[in-house]
Chain A
C-alpha cells in the first residue's frame, strides 16, 4: 500500500469575489521513501494541496475527494486526531524562515514542543533531544544556543531550526513548501542538500514544492506540474524534463534564462497572465493562454493520458503539441 494516496481531490475556497475552486481533481500517490516535486506558478494550488494534507485549510474551505495516509482517510478526520498526526507522522517546512518561528519562545522550547506533545517527553528530555536535532541540522555550537531566541539567528539557520522541528518525531512524510525560495542563493544549495540527506537517512517520503525547475531537477525522483488547480503533467523527473508533453510545461521550460546560451531578442513568455481563481476556464485551465487552444478546450476537461513509464499528461491536443515540438527541434 502506498504511504500517501490522493484521489480526485477538489478544494473550494471563499475568495473576495465569491466561491472558487482552487484544486480541481488532483490525484497522485507516494510510496514510502519516495520523493515527489510539485512545480507551478504562484496561485496554481500547490500550497493549498499540501495544506489540505495537513488539514490546515481555513474553516471556510470545502474539501471533497480522498486523502489516505497508510490507508487512513484524512478528509473529514476529526481535528483532535488530525493534531496527533501533524508534526508526528507528517512534518512540514515552510517558505519564510524569518517569520516561521515564535519570537518569544527559545529555540529549545520550539524544537522540543513536538517531542513533548507527541512523545510525552519531559522538558529535560525534550531539551536533550532538541540539542541532538540541532546538531544534526548543522547549527554551529548548538549547546550554548539552546536558550537563544529566533531573532538571534540568520535566515538560513532559522530554516534549519524549522527542519529540526519538522523532523523531531521522525515523520513518515516530510512536506517542504518552497523551503529555499526566501534564502540567499549560496545558502539554498546547503539547505536543499541537508533536506535531501536527512530524507534519505531517515527513509522519509518527501513532497517538495518549488517554482524553480532547477531545484526540482536535482532533488526529486518524480514530479507533478500544476496549473489552475489541476495536474497538467506528471511522471519521473527525467522523463518530464525530456518529453515536456504539455504546452504549459513547454512554456515553463522555454521561459528559463539559460546561462551562456546565445539568444537573439526577448525571453519567451507564456502569453496572458494567470487568471484569478474565479476566472479559471471550466474545461482546461490553460485554455486561452495556450497556443493550441480550440473551442473544446474551454468546455471539456482533458482526460489523463498515462504511459507505462509513469508519464501522464492532460491535454486534448497532445499530437499537435508533439508535432510542433518535433518541428521546433528540427
Chain B
C-alpha cells in the first residue's frame, strides 16, 4: 500500500504543477500587460508603468511564477486588483459557502443515484427499470441552471417555501444556512444523480452476471442479500471512479448555479472578477478549483484501492 500511495502522490503533485503552469500561462502571460488592461487604453504610459511596478508585473515570467507558487504555499496570494484586499480573505469567505454547497450536492447525488440505480437493476427490464431510466435520461438532458430556475418557479414563486436566492450567512444558524443551500444543491444533484444512476445500474447488472454471484446463490443466499452484500461492493468500483469525475462537473456547475441563486460563493466571485478584469482573483480561484478536482480524483484512486484488494497488489 505504501508504494501505491507514493506513486499516486507523485502523480498528484505532477498534475497540480502542470495545471498551475497552464493556469499561469493562460491567465498571466497570454493577456499581456495586466496593468494596461486594468487602466484602460486611454491611461498614460507612466501611470501604467507605475501600476505595473506596484503589481510586480515588470519582473520576468519565471520569477512571477515562482512568486505565485510560493504564495500559494504560504497563503499569501497578493491583493485583488479591484478591491485591494487580500485575495486569500476573499476566497476563504466565499469557500465557506461553496464547499458546503458542493458537499451537500454530492451527498444528495450519491443517495439518489444509488437508490435509483440499484432499484432499477433489481427490477431489470420490468416497468420500474424502464420508468426510472427514462427519468434518468430526461435528468441528464436538463441544464442544471434551467432546473434551478424551475425549482425557484415552483418553490419560491408559487409555493413560497424558499427564497428566490441569496444566502443568509452561517451567522443565522446552520439550519437557515442549509435551507438556502437546499434548492441550489438539488439543482446540481439532479443532473449528476441521473448520470450516476445509469452507471450504477449498469455496474450492478454487470456484476450480477459474474460467476461468484451464482456461487453465492448456490450457497443459499437470497437474491436480495446477494445484491447488497456481494454485488454492491464490487459494483462500487466503477461507480466511485465516476463519482470522482463528477465532482469536477459539480464544481463547474456551482459557478453557474451560484449565479442563478445570487449566492456569494466562489463561482460568483470568479464571475465578478472576470467582469472587473481582476485577473489575479480569477487566476487564484481557477487554480483552487483545479486543485480541488485533482485532489478529489486522488482520493478516489486511494478509495479504489481500499475497496478492491486486487488493486494494491497488482497496480504498481
- Would A and B touch once assembled, by the CB under 8 A criterion? yes
Which of A's residues lie within 8 Å of B, judged by CB? 54, 56, 79-80, 83-88, 91-92, 94, 96, 99-105, 113-114, 117-118, 149, 151-152, 162, 165-166
Contact B212 A101, beta carbon cutoff 8 Å: yes
Please report the C-alpha to C-alpha distance between residue A113 and residue B233 in the assembled complex, in whole angstroms. Answer: 16
Convert B204-233 into 0s and 1s, putting 1 for each residue whose CB lies closer than 8 angstroms to a CB of A: 000000111011111111110000001001
Q: Give which listed residue, B218, B233, B310, contacts A86 with CB less than 8 A.
A: B218
Question: Which residues from A are CB-within-8-Å of B211?
Answer: 94, 96, 99-100
Contact A117 B220, beta carbon cutoff 8 Å: yes
Please report the C-alpha to C-alpha distance between residue A309 and residue B41 in the assembled complex, in whole angstroms. Answer: 110
Contact A80 B222, beta carbon cutoff 8 Å: yes
Please report the C-alpha to C-alpha distance between residue A58 and residue B219 in the assembled complex, in whole angstroms. Answer: 17
Please report the C-alpha to C-alpha distance between residue A50 and residue B75 in the assembled complex, in whole angstroms. Answer: 69
Extra A-B contacts (19), CB below 8 Å, given A84-B220, A87-B219: A54-B218, A56-B217, A86-B220, A88-B220, A94-B215, A99-B210, A99-B211, A100-B212, A102-B215, A102-B234, A103-B308, A105-B230, A114-B220, A117-B219, A149-B310, A151-B310, A151-B313, A152-B313, A166-B219
Please report the C-alpha to C-alpha distance between residue A241 and residue B222 in the assembled complex, in whole angstroms. Answer: 41
Contact A56 B220, CB 8 Å, known A104-B308, A151-B310: no
Question: Which residues from B are CB-within-8-Å of A99?
Answer: 210-212
Please report the C-alpha to C-alpha distance between residue A56 and residue B219 in the assembled complex, in whole angstroms. Answer: 11
Contact B216 A102, beta carbon cutoff 8 Å: yes
Contact A104 B233, beta carbon cutoff 8 Å: yes
Contact A85 B220, CB 8 Å, known A102-B230, A104-B233, A104-B234: yes
Question: Which residues from B are CB-within-8-Å of A100?
Answer: 211-212, 214-215
Interface residues of B, count at CB 8 A: 21
Contact A83 B221, CB 8 Å, known A100-B211, A149-B310, A151-B313: yes
Question: Which residues from A are CB-within-8-Å of B217?
Answer: 56, 86
Please report the C-alpha to C-alpha distance between residue A86 and residue B225 in the assembled complex, in whole angstroms. Answer: 14
Please report the C-alpha to C-alpha distance between residue A19 and residue B223 in the assembled complex, in whole angstroms. Answer: 25
Contact B221 A117, beta carbon cutoff 8 Å: yes
Which 6 A-B pairs give the minimum distances between C-beta atoms?
A87-B219, A87-B220, A99-B211, A86-B220, A92-B218, A102-B212
Q: Is B171 an interface residue (CB 8 A)?
A: no
Contact A94 B214, CB 8 Å, known A104-B233, A104-B234: yes
Convert B293-316 into 0s and 1s, putting 1 for each residue whose CB lies closer than 8 angstroms to a CB of A: 000000000000001111001000
Contact B307 A104, beta carbon cutoff 8 Å: yes
Please report the C-alpha to C-alpha distance between residue A162 and residue B216 in the assembled complex, in whole angstroms. Answer: 11
Question: How many residue pairs bridge A and B at CB < 8 Å?
Answer: 73
Contact A103 B309, CB 8 Å, known A79-B223, A94-B211, A96-B211: yes
Nearest A residue to B314, CB-CB = A151
Interface residues of B in 228-244 (CB under 8 A from A): 230, 233-234
Cβ contacts A to B, 7 pairs, < 8 Å: A56-B214, A84-B220, A100-B212, A100-B214, A102-B230, A104-B308, A113-B221
Please report the C-alpha to C-alpha distance between residue A152 and residue B210 in the assembled complex, in whole angstroms. Answer: 19
Question: Which residues from B are CB-within-8-Å of A117?
Answer: 219-221
Please report the C-alpha to C-alpha distance between residue A167 and residue B282 in the assembled complex, in whole angstroms. Answer: 66
Nearest B residue to A86, CB-CB = B220
Whole-angstrom distance between the Cβ of B314 and the nearest chain A Cβ: 8
Question: Which residues from B are CB-within-8-Å of A94?
Answer: 211, 214-215, 218
Question: Which residues from B are CB-within-8-Å of A114?
Answer: 219-220
Contact B309 A151, beta carbon cutoff 8 Å: yes
Question: Which residues from B are CB-within-8-Å of A87?
Answer: 218-221
Whole-angstrom distance between the Cβ of B308 and the nearest chain A Cβ: 6
Nearest B residue to A113, CB-CB = B219
Question: Which residues from B are CB-within-8-Å of A83?
Answer: 220-222
Interface residues of B in 73-91 (CB under 8 A from A): none
Nearest A residue to B237, CB-CB = A104
Please report the C-alpha to C-alpha distance between residue A79 and residue B234 in the assembled complex, in whole angstroms. Answer: 25
Contact B220 A103, beta carbon cutoff 8 Å: no
Please report the C-alpha to C-alpha distance between residue A23 and residue B306 in the assembled complex, in whole angstroms. Answer: 45
Question: Which residues from B are CB-within-8-Å of A96?
Answer: 211
Contact B214 A165, beta carbon cutoff 8 Å: no
Question: Which residues from B are CB-within-8-Å of A101?
Answer: 212, 215
Question: Which residues from A are CB-within-8-Å of B233?
Answer: 104
Please report the C-alpha to C-alpha distance between residue A118 and residue B220 in the assembled complex, in whole angstroms. Answer: 8
Question: Which residues from B are CB-within-8-Å of A166?
Answer: 218-219
Please report the C-alpha to C-alpha distance between residue A104 and residue B217 in the assembled complex, in whole angstroms. Answer: 17
Please report the C-alpha to C-alpha distance between residue A152 and residue B313 in the assembled complex, in whole angstroms. Answer: 9
Please report the C-alpha to C-alpha distance between residue A126 and residue B28 in the assembled complex, in whole angstroms. Answer: 65
Question: Which residues from B are CB-within-8-Å of A92?
Answer: 218
Please report the C-alpha to C-alpha distance between residue A91 and residue B221 in the assembled complex, in whole angstroms. Answer: 13
Contact B218 A103, beta carbon cutoff 8 Å: no
Question: Which residues from A are CB-within-8-Å of B222?
Answer: 79-80, 83
Question: Which residues from B are CB-within-8-Å of A56?
Answer: 214, 217-218
Nearest B residue to A92, CB-CB = B218
Question: Which residues from B are CB-within-8-Å of A113?
Answer: 216, 219, 221
Question: Which residues from A are CB-within-8-Å of B216?
Answer: 102, 113
The winner among B214, B215, B222, B307 for most chain A CB atoms within 10 A is: B215
Whole-angstrom distance between the Cβ of B207 and the nearest chain A Cβ: 10
